[in-house]
Amino acid sequence: MSNSLNYTKKRIGFPRMNLLTTIGCSLFTILIILSFGASIFAPYDPLEQNILSRLEPASSVHWLGTDVFGRDTLSRILHGAQLSLIIGLTSTGIALILGTVLGIIAGYRGGWVDIIIMRIMDILLAFPTLITGLLIVAVLGASAVNIVFAIAITLMPNFARVARAPTITLREREFVEACRALGYSDIRIMAFHIFPNVIGEVVVLASLWTASAIMIEAYLSFIGLGVSPPTPTLGGMIRQGLDNILDAPWVTVYPGFAVLFIVLALNLMGDGVRDATDPKLRG
Amino acid sequence: MLNFIFKRILSSIPTLFGVLTLVFLLVRVVPGDPALAILGDAASEEALQAFRERMGLNAPLWDQYLSFLGQIISGSLGYSMTTGEPVLTTVLRVLPHTIELTLFAIFIGVIFGVPLGIWAALKRDTWVDYVCRIVSLIGLSFPSFLTAILLILVLAIYFPIFPVISNPGNSASSHLYNLILPGLSLGLIMTAYVMRTARSSILNVLSEDYVRTAKSKGIPRSVILIRHVLKNAMIPIVTVVGLYMGLLIGNSVLTEIVFNRPGLGKLIVLSLSQRDYATLQGLMIIYAFLVVLINLITDLAYGLFDPRVTYS
């Protein structure tokens, strides 16, 4: 038991922060504060239209200009980013829980349970990620809940694979054998003895997969399968701005950079944490 | 080798079968009546009924499933609900555009990514390495529509060198001319992925004993680099290229929308909006087939770089 806990601590450790990781964490914190405080920080109502100020370039009145309906781009980006982050974080969270549970069950039980679970994961991985998400959202209808579900399903197999691999070796370890000898139930062993040893590796990858989740959400809303308008979504804004790319490129470019910053912050963070916990990649 | 290919194809049959069943079931639960969506509100009840009869929408589910499997085995992949054309014909008309785009992006990714990755690995912990790493991290955080939009703005609008709308013509030169911008927009992201993988896998190989041995034998640096380091570092690079090729085929949807370019992505978006689920399920099968094919080619490519890999 104490052996297993030590193992966990060693694996997760406290991330050795380098400059890039620090930048990533700070950027992400700022983005979280700005987007979740969108109703405080946004200078305008993101839905307020003003026909007199259509497609205005950046100015002191509208810091990032206005779109085709005269709506303030900055306010819409902040609200859109909030939605992106909520969808990205919840869908990754759900994918992490489902994937880890399935991966541990597959790895621990082995045999036909393993074959069936991993076959289903293979089927899900047989489509390009975006296409799986696209089909699920198209089938269920574009709403925030369905988008979260679709992204969670597409990301789940990755977590299952990461959780399954260490489970297979842990299954043979002495402390697990000891648990079995003590007559613990499989569920108890998986929940209290395997899970704490696996979760570290899974969580390390979570921020990288959150980045993918946010990217997929932006792609879906760009294609027109996002949360329906007038709710601002970053992908939707980019798509709409594309129509006026000749005379007002900022309408499409700024929300694009917002997606870039969010994804970059998550990638920097994820990279740093992974490097710090994986001795092979250190340096 | 042939034996290996045969076995691999055989072992992917259960997955493909699962894919078929999943697609069939998913597509059946699409809300909305396809007859109504295709014929429009003005269609009479008789016309709607006739359409459902013709498309086999009235048959029981298992019956539809069997005829669906039959259509796949016969190779037509069913008939489009809007044009009545075999889905395979429709797909094959646009597939070359998507394949061309993906291959071009991979090409860009490899010819820029591998040398940059080597350079960064050899200059480890110098400014070259830092710049390469930061640039590659930024590159792989770029949403592919953003690279597309920026390239259009700079190279098609401010400096009108390339066309805004990518509409490949018949001649080879017009094909290439229309391919460069969309290809670059995906290829630059690919470069970032390849560069990162190349750097870390070369760093791994550089610390191997046989590289030290080769150095101590006095073998010239360039020979060590090409014969020993690069060859061994290729396996992870090939893996990443294979992995992201599947991703690119999916993400080309965005590039195709931005550049208004024909391809699989445009087709899937169109068939979604028309509720043409015959085309939709045919497309999903093509996507799954392509991913399985790419995985197979990736496995075969390992043997090219690593003679220890045998196909038996």
The residue type of B89 is T
Tokens 């590039």 -> residue: B255
Contact by Cβ (8 Å): A155, A92: yes
Q: What is the pLDDT of residue B36?
A: 66
Tokens 């912050």 -> residue: A265
| ω into A230 cis (within 30 of 0) | yes
* Residues with Cβ within 8 Å of residue B239, at least 6 apart in sequence: B197, B298
* Residues with Cβ within 8 Å of residue B266, at least 6 apart in sequence: B94, B253, B256, B257
Distance CA B271, CA B261 (A): 16
- Residues of A whose CB is below 8 A from B269: 223-224
A268 contacts chain B (CB < 8 A) = yes
* φ, ψ of residue A66 in degrees (nearest 5): -130, 160
Can you read off the two tokens belonging to residue B17? 């079968």
In order along its 283 residues, chain A shows pLDDT tens digits of 444 444 444 444 444 457 778 888 889 999 999 888 878 877 777 777 777 777 677 777 777 777 777 788 888 889 999 999 999 999 999 999 999 999 999 999 888 999 899 888 988 888 888 888 888 888 888 888 999 999 999 999 999 998 998 898 888 888 988 998 998 988 899 989 889 888 888 887 888 899 999 999 999 999 888 887 778 888 888 888 888 888 888 888 899 999 999 999 998 888 877 777 665 544 4
In order along its 312 residues, chain B shows pLDDT tens digits of 778 778 877 877 888 888 888 888 877 766 666 666 666 666 677 777 777 776 666 677 787 788 778 877 777 777 787 777 888 888 888 888 899 899 999 999 999 999 999 999 888 888 888 888 888 889 889 988 898 889 888 888 888 878 777 777 677 777 788 888 889 999 999 999 999 889 988 888 888 888 888 888 888 888 888 888 888 888 888 888 888 888 888 888 888 888 888 888 888 888 888 777 788 888 888 888 888 888 888 888 877 777 776 665
- Grouping H, G, I as helix, E, B as strand and the rest as coil, residue B86 is strand
What's the full length of chain A, in residues? 283
* φ, ψ of residue B302 in degrees (nearest 5): -55, -40
A213 contacts chain B (CB < 8 A) = no
- Taking an 8 Å cut-off on Cβ atoms, the answer to whether A20 and B134 are in contact is yes
Q: Which residue of A has its CA nearest to B294?
A: A126
Shortest distance, CA B178 to any CA of chain A (angstroms): 19
Q: What is the pLDDT of residue A283?
A: 40
Q: What is the pLDDT of residue B259?
A: 87
- Taking an 8 Å cut-off on Cβ atoms, the answer to whether A136 and B26 are in contact is yes
Can you read off the two tokens belonging to residue B198? 């190349």
- Grouping H, G, I as helix, E, B as strand and the rest as coil, residue A66 is strand
* φ, ψ of residue A254 in degrees (nearest 5): -60, -50
Q: What is the pLDDT of residue A9?
A: 42
Q: What is the pLDDT of residue A12?
A: 44
Give the Å distances, CA to CA, from B19 to A59, B66, B96, B146. 52, 15, 23, 32
Distance CA B138, CA B115 (A): 18
Distance CA A260, CA B146 (A): 8
Facing B137 at nearest CB: one of A122, A271, A283: A271
Instruction: Write the secondary structure of B7-49 as one string of H (helix), E (strand) and C (coil).
Output: HHHHHHHHHHHHHHHHHHHHHHCCCCCHHHHHHCCCCCHHHHH
Shortest distance, CA B183 to any CA of chain A (angstroms): 18
A196 contacts chain B (CB < 8 A) = no
- Taking an 8 Å cut-off on Cβ atoms, the answer to whether A260 and B141 are in contact is yes
- Grouping H, G, I as helix, E, B as strand and the rest as coil, residue B79 is strand
Facing B246 at nearest CB: one of A128, A219, A283: A128
What ipTM does this complex have?
0.84
Q: What is the pLDDT of residue A86?
A: 93
* Residues with Cβ within 8 Å of residue B158, at least 6 apart in sequence: none
End-to-end CA distance of chain A: 32
- Taking an 8 Å cut-off on Cβ atoms, the answer to whether A139 and B30 are in contact is yes
Contact by Cβ (8 Å): B200, B239: no
- Residues of B whose CB is below 8 A from A238: 145-146, 149
Q: Please report the DSSP string for A70-133 in residue order.
A: --BHHHHHHHHHHHHHHHHHHHHHHHHHHHHHHHHHHHHH-HHHHHHHHHHHHHHHTS-HHHHH
Other CB atoms within a 10 A radius of the CB of residue B66 amount to 12
- Residues of A whose CB is below 8 A from B287: 127-128, 131
B20 contacts chain A (CB < 8 A) = no
Q: What is the pLDDT of residue A104?
A: 94
Contact by Cβ (8 Å): A261, A27: yes
- Taking an 8 Å cut-off on Cβ atoms, the answer to whether B19 and A263 are in contact is no
B192 contacts chain A (CB < 8 A) = no
Side-chain half-sphere exposure of B220, counting CA atoms within 13 A: 3
Facing B18 at nearest CB: one of A119, A246, A268: A119
Contact by Cβ (8 Å): A194, A221: no
**Would residue B56 be called left, alpha or beta, if left means φ above 0 and alpha means ψ between -120 and 50 degrees?**
left
Contact by Cβ (8 Å): A75, A46: yes
- Residues of B whose CB is below 8 A from A245: 149, 152-153, 157
